[in-house]
Chains A and B, each alone.
Chain A
Amino acid sequence: MAIIRKIKDKIRELAKKEINLKAKLPKPAKKSAPPEEEKREIMGERETMVEKAKFFQPEIAPRPRREMPTELPSQYDRDRIVLQVRDPWWLHTYWEVRGQTFDRFKSELGESFYRAKRTLRVYDVSQINFNGSNAHRYFDIFVSEHTNNWYIDAGGSGKSWIVDYGLLLPDGRFITIVRSNVAHTPIEGPSWITDEEWMIPEDMFARLYGMGFGLGQSSPVGKAWQERVKRALFSGVFASPGMASMASPVKKVPKERKFWMVVNCELIVYGATEPDATVTVQDKEIKLRPDGTFSLRFALPDGKQVIPVKGVSSDKIEERVITPIVSRETKSSILVKA
C-alpha cells in the first residue's frame, strides 16, 4: 500500500510540475499561428523588448514578420539631376529621367530623337544669375543611354557650375531635359582678396601659410612652394587614419613574398585526485574542478621544464608528488628556391 501511495504522490507531483511548465510557456496565438521557428524568435525578442524599450508599446499577439524588399529601387519616378562637388577640380552629377518624359520628346522630335546624342552640357556660371544663355562658357560631354552618373573634370577651381542633361540634335540644337542646382568649387590656394583694413605683408602671410601646413617657417613663396603645399595636402599623409577600430582584422605589412609559417608549442598538464585534496603545481596552488580533475595549459619555451605536481589529502596525512620533466628543442631551416 505504502508503495502505491508513493507512486500516486509521485504522479501527482509530476502532474503539478507539468502544469507549472505549461504556465511558463507562451500561450499559442489564437489566429493563424506563424511557423514554429518564427514564433520562437519573436517570443524571445518580445521579452527583451518589454524590458528594454523606452517608448514602445508591446503587442499581445505574436505577429508575422513583415516582408521587406532587400534592394533599393533603381528609379524614383522623377526627372531630376543633381550636381555636387568632389574637390576644387572635379564635380559629380547623377540624374534620372522618366520613361514618359522621353516619350514626350520622342513624339515632339520624331525621327531626330533617335539620332540625338544624350549630352551633359556643363555651364560656367561663376558670379552670374544663369538664365540659360548667359554662361561664361560651356562644354558638352556625350553619355550613353544607360549612364546615370558622371564625374566631370571642371578644368579649374573656384567657379560655379550648372549642368543640363539633354539631347544634342543632328542640326546642332540642344534640348534641355533636366537642369541641375548650382555647385561652387572651392579655390585651390589662398584667396587673392585681402581685407584692406587687416592687410599684412605678403611674406608674413606666406610664412603663416606655410606653417599652417606644417612646412616650417622659411617657406619661400613661389611655384615650387605651392607644389609642396599641394603635395602635402593631397598626399593623404595628414588624412585621419579613420576608424582603426573598424579595420580590426589583421593587416600584414606587405612584403616581397607572402609565404610565412609560425610554429608554437603548448603543454597541457592534467590529472585527477580527491575533490577535497590540495594540489600545487610548481609550488603554486591550483583550483580543482568539483570532480577532482584539473588541467593546466602552458606555453612551452625551448629548454627543460620540471613540473612537480603535489597532492595533499584533506586530512594532511597523505601526500603524493608526480613530476613530469619536459624538454623542448626547436630547429628550423629556410629554403628559398631560385
Chain B
Amino acid sequence: MLHGHLPFVRHPEHEDFLEEDWLYEGITETYIPLIQVFEKLCEDGVDFRLTMTLSPTLSSMLADPLLEERYLNHINKLIELSHKEIERTSWQPQFQHLAIHYLNQFCKARDTFEKYGRNLALAFKKFQDLGKLEIITCGATHGYFPLMDVCRESVRAQVKVAASHYESLFGRRPRGIWLPECGYQPGQDEILKEAGIKFFFTDSHGVLHGTPRPKYGVFAPVYCKGTGVACFARDLESSKQVWSSIEGYPGDYNYREFYRDIGFDLEYDYIRPYIHPDGVRINTGIKYFRITGTTDHKEPYVPQWATERAAEHAGNFMFNRQKQVEYLNDFMQKKPLLVSPYDAELFGHWWYEGPQWLNFLIRKIACDQDEIRLITPSEYLAENPRNQVITPSLSSWGWKGYSEMWLQGSNDWIYRHLHEASAKMTELARSYPHADGLKARALNQALRELLLAQSSDWAFIMGTGTHVNYAVRRTKDHLLRFNRLYEDIKSDSIDNGWLSDIEYRDNIFPGIDYRVHQ
C-alpha cells in the first residue's frame, strides 16, 4: 500500500515558488518511476496488485494545467543541466556516467509525462482500469480527523469532497480511504459509511488495542462495530524492514545519498540558473554519491551495485513474508493478510532505489514462489467476507502513535481557530441551504479555504521545525480568507473582484458543494 500525498502548493502569484518544488521532485523521483515500473510489468505480462492513495490535493495538482506547464519547464531545465554536467565531468568518468544516467532518467520522465497528456493521474487510472492497482481516496486536504472530532461536520466535508473528487477523476466511487496520517477516531467510521466507503487502514495498535480483542491481531481485517466498515491494520514487522531509520533497507551503504546534491555542492555561479531565483541553494535531484558509511566521507554512487542490493533486499523481504505467513497459517482458520503501507515518496524520492526494489519484489512474488501473493483490500474482502467485529482504538501512524505530532506546543494554537471556522461553516451551510450565483460561489470558496487550512501538513511542519513560516502563513491565510468570506456572506456584501482573485489562487475542487459541511 503506497500513500501518495502532497499538500496543495500551487502558487500562481509567483513565477517560482520554492514549495512547488515538492511536487516537481515527487513527480520526477517517485510518481513517474512508479508509472514506469507498472508499465514495464504490464508489458512483460507480470501480474501484480497494489493499493495506492492519490490524495485529492496531489491528484488536483497533477491535473492542473498551470502546474503541468511549470513541471515541463522544471524538467527541461534539469535536462539542460545534465547536458552541462556531462561536459563538466569529462575528466571524472565516475561522475560522468552518472550525469548520463540522470540525463536519460530526466528525458524518459519527460516522455512519460507527455505520453499521458501531462496528467499523471490518468496514468494511475489506467492501471486501476487494468485491475492491477486499487486507488483509494484520502481526506480532501489531508485534515487530521481525530483532532476534528468536535466538529464532525468538517470530517464529513473532508470525506465527501474527497469522494466526489475521486469520482470525477476515476469514473467510479472510491471503495476505500487512507485516513490522513492513518488517524482513526472511533465513531468516525459512520461518516465513511455515509460516503459509501467500504474500508480504511489503521496502524497496528488501532486494531490490536481494539475492543473486544481481535482474534487474529493485525493479520485479518475487522469490521467496525455499528457500521460494518472494514479496517485493515498495518503489520509492523514488514513496515520496519523498509521504514526503520536504523535497520531498514534504505540505509544500505550502496544506496544513493539523499543529502549530497549538486545544488549544494557545486560552484555558485555555475549552479545559479538551476537553483531558486532568489539565489537560495536547493536540491536539483542530481546526486553523485552513495551513502558509503556513517561519516561525512562519501564515495561515488555506482548504480549497478545499488541495483544488486535492491534485488537482494526484495528477496529478503519476500523471504521474511513467507516465514511470517508459514507461521501464521498454523493457527489461523483463514488466509493471513500482511498490510505494509508506506509513504509513496519513500520510494524514489527518499529511497532512490525504492521503485527498483518494488519492481524486483513484484516479479519475484509473481515468478519465484507460490506461498504468498499480492492482493487488494477489495479482493481480500470479497474472498473473506466473514470477519470479526470490534471497535478499533484511537491511533495514528505518526510520532508516538497518537495525536502528539499535530498537538504540541508549536502547533496547538491552530485548533481554536480551525474549530471556530468549522462551526461557522456549519452555520453558513445551515443558513443558506439554497444559495445560488455570487453567494453560492462565496460559500463554496469558504469551504475551500477551510479545507485548505485543515491540511495536517501545516501542523506537521510546525512540529518538525523546517519551513515553519510557510506552514504558519498558509494556515493563517486560508483562515483569514475564510473569516472574510464569512463576514461578507453574513452581511450580504460579497466583493466579486476579491472573490474571483481567491477563486483563482485556491482553485482546488472546482465542483465543490458547500452543503456537504453539515
- Listed residue (B208, B345, B349) with the most chain A CB atoms within 10 angstroms of its CB: B208
Residue of A with least CB distance to B187:
A184
The total number of A-B Cβ pairs within 8 Å is 273
Contact pattern, A 169-210, Cβ under 8 Å of B = 1, otherwise 0: 000000000000100111111111111001110001100110
**Cβ B13 vs Cβ A45 within 8 A:** yes
Considering only CB atoms and an 8 Å cut-off, how many residues of chain A contact the other chain? 91
Return A184 CB to nearest CB of chain B, in Å. Answer: 7
A237 adjacent to B209 (CB under 8 Å) = no
CB <8 Å contact, A49 and B504: yes
Chain B residues in 8 Å Cβ range of A84 = 146-147, 149-150, 403, 407, 415
A322 nearest CB across to chain B (Å): 18
Q: Which of A69, A245, A305 contacts B480 (CB 8 A)?
A: A69
CA distance A68 to B505 in the complex (A): 15
Contacts of B343 in A (CB 8 A): 240-243
In the assembled complex, which residues on chain B have CB atoms less than 8 Å from the CB atom of A189? 209
Whether B22 contacts A209 by the Cβ 8 Å rule is no
Contact with A along B486-501 (1 / 0, CB 8 A): 0000000001111011
Q: Is the CB of A86 within 8 A of B403?
A: yes
- Could you tell me if A251 and B503 are in contact, using CB atoms closer than 8 angstroms? no
Q: Assess whether B316 is interfacial by the CB under 8 Å rule.
A: no
Query: Is B469 engaged at the interface, CB distance under 8 Å to the other chain?
Result: no
Contact among B217, B244, B416, B495 for A208, CB-based, below 8 A: B217
> Contacts A49-B504, A266-B267 hold; do A247 and B464 have CB atoms under 8 A apart?
yes
Which chain B residues (326-350) contact chain A, with CB distance < 8 Å? 327-328, 331, 343, 345-346, 349-350
Q: Name A34-75 residues within 8 Å CB distance of B.
A: 45, 48-49, 52-59, 63, 66, 68-73
5 A-B pairs with the lowest CB-CB distances in the bound complex, closest first: A208-B217, A214-B237, A87-B402, A63-B497, A214-B236
A-B contacts, 6 listed (Cβ < 8 Å): A238-B397, A248-B21, A249-B466, A252-B259, A297-B84, A305-B91
B residues within 8 Å of A by Cβ?
Answer: 6, 12-13, 21-22, 25-26, 65-66, 84, 87-92, 95, 146-147, 149-150, 186, 204-205, 208-213, 215-219, 233, 235-240, 243-246, 258-259, 261, 264, 267, 270, 281-283, 294-296, 324, 327-328, 331, 343, 345-346, 349-350, 388, 390, 393-395, 397-405, 407, 412-413, 415-417, 419-420, 457, 460-461, 464, 466-467, 476, 479-481, 483-484, 495-498, 500-501, 503-504, 507, 510
Q: Known contacts A58-B500, A298-B91; can you find 14 more A-B pairs with CB under 8 A?
A: A56-B503, A68-B481, A184-B394, A187-B209, A191-B209, A195-B213, A211-B324, A212-B233, A213-B237, A214-B239, A240-B343, A244-B350, A247-B467, A299-B95
